[in-house]
Structures are given as C-alpha cells and as structure tokens.
C-alpha cells in the first residue's frame, strides 16, 4: 500500500523520538506527536490506511481520489458524517477522545476503516 | 472525438422529427446491432438486434434504463445528459410504444436537487404514459432519499417500495440502498421483506412476476459490494412462481443468471461503463473507454411480454 508506506517514512523520526533507541516497536503502531494531521486516502473503493492509530488531538483528513463519490460515516455515530465527497474533495475530523472509531462509506458499505485514538 | 460530438448533436437536436429519426437509424447502422434476448420457459435465447426486430404475440412491452448519473462530468463521459437523451430517443423510435419506462436507479450522481430536476425534465422527453423509478445509492446521499421520493416516489408505503400490475404481470419495485450497515451490501430490511411476503401471498403461482431494484438481488460480486445482504429471503418468497424476472442496475454492464424459474439481469448504464467483476482494483467509471467506443457500453433494455408463454422476452439494445 503506497500511502501507508509514505506515512511510515514520514513518521520514522517521530517513532524514534517516542520509542527511544532500545525499545522495538512496529512502525505501523507508532503514534505521531499531538497536533499532527493524518491523511487517509480513499482510493479504489477502500480507505488507505484501513486502520490508523493516532494520539488524542489528531486531525484526520480523508481525500477522495476515486471518480465515485464516497461518504465518510461513523458506524456508531461517534462523529459527524461527511457530505458526499466528490472526486478530490476532503473531509477532516479532529479526535479529542480516546477510543476505537469504526467508520464506513454509507453508500458503499463494504468500505470500512478504523481510527484508534490513544 | 469531433465526429462523435457531431453525431450526438445531430441525433439529439431533431428528436421526434423525420430528419432526426433518419439520423438515428444511420447511427444505429454505424454502431452495429445490439442483442435481442428471448426468454422461453426459463431459457434465454439471444439474437442480434436490428431495426426489423419484432416479437410476435407480445401483449405489451416496457423499457428499462439505468444509472444515468446526472451530475457526473468526467472521463469517459463528460455529457451524461446527451447520452441519456440518446437512450430516450431510441425509446421513442421503437415501432411498438412501450407501456412504461422503468429507471432502476442512480438517476443522479450526488443526490443534488438540481440533478434530480434535470433528470425529471429529460424523462419527460420519452413518449411513454408512465414512468417508474427506484433509487440508487447515489440518489439517497445525506437525506435518506427525501429529494428522490418527493419527485419520483410512488407513495404506496412509507418505505417507498411498491407494486403494480400490467396485463397480468405483477411488478414489484424494491429499495435496497437505504440503512446500509458497515461492512455490508445492499439491504432490504425486515419491514420491506414482510411487505413483500404479504404482497405476493395472494398471487397464483402462474402469475409472471417482475422484481426490480437498484443493487443486484443476487451475490454477483460481493467483494465490490455488488449484492444485497438479505436478497435470499426475498427470493425464497418468489421460488413458487413459474416465471420470475429480476431487473437490476448498479454495475453498469449486462450480467445474467438463471436460477430455477428466476432469471436475473443487470442493465447497462446510460452514462458510463464499469469494469467486469474483479477486473482491476475496484469498481468505478471505466476511464479507458474512448469517446468513440463509449456508445458500445451504454444502452437501454426493452422487455416485451409474450402472453402465450407466460415468459418475458428481453432485448438489450446498445446505445448508438
């Protein structure tokens, strides 16, 4: 997954800073520093990365790269749904409370993603 | 590209006039024939469709169009209004006037009021007495279909589903694009299923039944969301009938399946094609289609009912 790989490259210095030298931790599990914006790409009827772990206060921005519209919808109505995101449109949510936020596309419900806020 | 645009302009500007019809027939010849589907005793037979096609003994016919996506304006079709107009012109050119016109959803691309208004205006160009609609998922974004139902709803039931009879054939319009759940497919829901069971209960098994809904009512390709979670329950009510035809849209291409006495069809789009199931990373507009080739992927479906056999003859006409 290209977007995920890009994210890891960008996040690596943060990973080192948070984990220290001696602690081993997988890059995908590493939380970025507070106040950071994270991108989720909507591409080929999928969210990428499908699962994202972020600290409290992180702003998550979804960008629709498909020619089809998509709607970011919280499975438990834990955050407001986006409007129909046409090609190139973005939607942002800032997560202030820890928890696991499952979301999906309300018109293509097989598209499911998770934001884990720690 | 230029040739194609010119063809479109001439074909749409003269709808209903002699010159327009000549142009239209010329376009048909240029595009080549479509396919005539004859269903006899549950077995499909295909014929090339030409302008001389007739189905002897047909008591009535109707036309299905689908997935017009008014508001879509990108590759491979920046003119979805023009291609819908071409489909409607083909309907008007039919030798036998269809009893009604059926649109199986995704009238609009983004559920915008102005998109619905454009679609509504265009559909009045079809010379048919009645028009029936079911919503696609693109028609219910943000408002659970309020804009759609206010214009196109049959208002038989609060949920929007409905049925009617035409020359002894029972038609049922179902809605499977609302209250979709994370990780799921299309959904009919308990209320609609209960209504369907009751609606069909009084019919004799000899009654031909036509069921239509936007998303496929069979697991066509669930990996891309091409199916309906609780369609199996609906189909269980239909199995006792001798002739059942299920018409869907959503996937912008023809797919068919015969399961006992139930025959499933998905229609082409009047706007743009999508890839074959599993071909590529996901569904969506098939952008590689050139303007010159686009017409081969678009179409209308003309269904003629043959009373003698109790079965339906389905013709698929490629939009020229």
ipTM: 0.72
Return per-residue pLDDT of chain B as tens, 320 residues: 222 222 222 222 222 333 343 343 333 322 222 233 333 443 333 333 334 445 555 677 788 889 999 999 988 889 999 988 988 887 787 777 788 888 999 999 999 999 999 999 999 998 889 999 999 999 999 999 999 999 999 989 999 999 999 888 899 999 999 999 999 999 999 999 999 999 999 999 988 899 999 999 999 999 999 999 999 999 999 999 988 989 999 998 888 888 888 988 888 888 888 888 888 888 878 777 776 667 666 765 655 555 444 445 455 555 44
Does the pLDDT value for residue A51 go beyond 80? yes
Q: Determine the distance from the C-alpha atom of residue B312 to the mean position of all C-alpha atoms in its chain, rounded to a whole number.
A: 15
Q: Is residue B262 part of a domain?
A: yes
**Chosen from B141, B230, B285 to mutate, greatest number of chain A CBs within 10 A:** B141
Give the closest of A67, A71, A81 to B284, CB-based. A67
| Residues in chain B within 8 Å Cβ distance of A69 | 109-110, 138, 141
Q: How far is the C-alpha of B210 from the C-alpha of B231, rounded, in Å?
A: 15
Helices B80-92 & B2-13, crossing angle to 10 degrees?
50
Give the closest of A46, A102, A103 to B282, CB-based. A46
Q: Where are the domains of chain A?
A: 2-117
Name the minimum distance, in Å, from the CA of B162 to any CA of chain A: 22
* pLDDT for the residue B306: 52
| Residues in chain A within 8 Å Cβ distance of B109 | 69
CB contact under 8 A, A110 and B140: no
Nearest to B305 by CA among B54, B59, B118: B59
Name the minimum distance, in Å, from the CA of A65 to any CA of chain B: 11
* Secondary structure (DSSP) of B268-297: PBSS---PPTTSSSS-S--TT--HHHHGGG
Cβ neighbours of B35 (radius 10 Å): 15
The CATH number linked to B112 is: 3.60.21.10
CB contact under 8 A, B141 and A112: no
DSSP state of B203: S
* pLDDT for the residue B58: 64
Q: Does A44 touch chain B (CB under 8 A)?
A: yes
CB contact under 8 A, A71 and B281: no
**Chosen from B182, B186, B230, B275 to mutate, greatest number of chain A CBs within 10 A:** B182
Q: Is residue B13 part of a domain?
A: no
Q: Is residue B235 part of a domain?
A: yes
Q: Is residue B182 part of a domain?
A: yes
CATH homologous superfamily of A2-117 equals: Cupredoxins -  blue copper proteins (2.60.40.420)
Q: Does B177 touch chain A (CB under 8 A)?
A: yes
Segment A8-42, tens digit of pLDDT:
333 333 333 333 333 333 334 444 455 789 999 99
| Residues in chain B within 8 Å Cβ distance of A107 | 137-138, 140-141, 177, 180
* Secondary structure (DSSP) of A38-97: EEEEE-SSSEESSEEEE-TTEEEEEEE-SSS-B-EEETTS-SPPP--B-TT-EEEEEE-S
**Total of domains in chain B:** 1
Instruction: Supply the range of the domain harboring residue B172.
Output: 34-318
């Amino acid at each position: 997954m290209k977007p995920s790989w890009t994210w890891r490259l960008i996040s690596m210095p943060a990973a080192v800073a948070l984990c220290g030298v001696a602690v081993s931790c997988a890059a995908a599990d590493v939380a970025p520093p507070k106040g950071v914006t994270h991108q989720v790409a909507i591409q080929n009827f999928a969210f990428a990365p499908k699962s994202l772990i972020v600290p409290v206060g992180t702003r998550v921005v979804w960008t629709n790269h498909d020619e089809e519209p998509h709607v970011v919808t919280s499975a438990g109505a834990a955050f407001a749904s986006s409007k129909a995101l046409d090609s190139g449109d973005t939607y942002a949510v800032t997560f202030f409370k820890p928890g696991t936020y499952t979301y999906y596309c309300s018109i293509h419900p097989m598209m499911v993603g998770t934001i884990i806020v720690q | 590209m230029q040739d194609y645009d010119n063809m479109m302009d001439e074909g749409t500007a003269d709808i209903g006039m002699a010159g327009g019809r000549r142009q239209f027939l010329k376009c048909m010849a240029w595009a080549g024939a479509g396919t005539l589907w004859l269903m006899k005793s549950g077995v499909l037979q295909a014929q090339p469709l030409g302008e001389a096609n007739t189905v002897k003994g047909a008591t009535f016919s109707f036309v299905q169009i689908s997935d017009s996506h008014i508001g879509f304006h990108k590759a491979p079709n920046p003119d979805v209004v023009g291609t819908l107009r071409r489909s409607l012109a083909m309907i008007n050119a039919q030798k036998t006037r269809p009893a009604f016109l059926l649109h199986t959803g995704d009238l609009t691309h983004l559920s915008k009021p102005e998109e619905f208004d454009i679609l509504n205006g265009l559909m009045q160009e079809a010379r048919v007495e009645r028009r029936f609609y079911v919503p696609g998922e693109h028609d219910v974004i943000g408002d659970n279909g309020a804009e759609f139902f206010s214009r196109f709803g049959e208002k038989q039931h609060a949920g929007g589903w409905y049925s009617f009879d035409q020359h002894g054939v029972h038609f049922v319009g179902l809605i499977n694009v609302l209250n979709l759940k994370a990780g799921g497919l299309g959904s009919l829901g308990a209320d609609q299923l209960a209504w369907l069971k009751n609606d069909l209960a009084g019919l004799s098994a000899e009654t031909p039944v036509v069921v239509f809904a936007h998303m496929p009512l069979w697991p066509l390709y669930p990996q891309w969301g091409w199916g309906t979670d609780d369609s199996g329950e609906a189909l269980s009510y239909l199995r006792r009938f001798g002739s059942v035809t299920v018409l869907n849209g959503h996937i912008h291409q023809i797919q068919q399946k015969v399961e006992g006495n139930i025959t499933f069809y998905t229609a082409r789009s009047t706007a743009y094609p999508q890839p074959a199931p599993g071909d590529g990373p996901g569904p969506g507009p098939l952008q590689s289609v050139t303007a010159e080739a686009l017409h081969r992927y678009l179409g209308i479906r003309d269904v003629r009912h043959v009373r003698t056999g109790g079965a339906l003859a389905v013709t698929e006409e490629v939009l020229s």
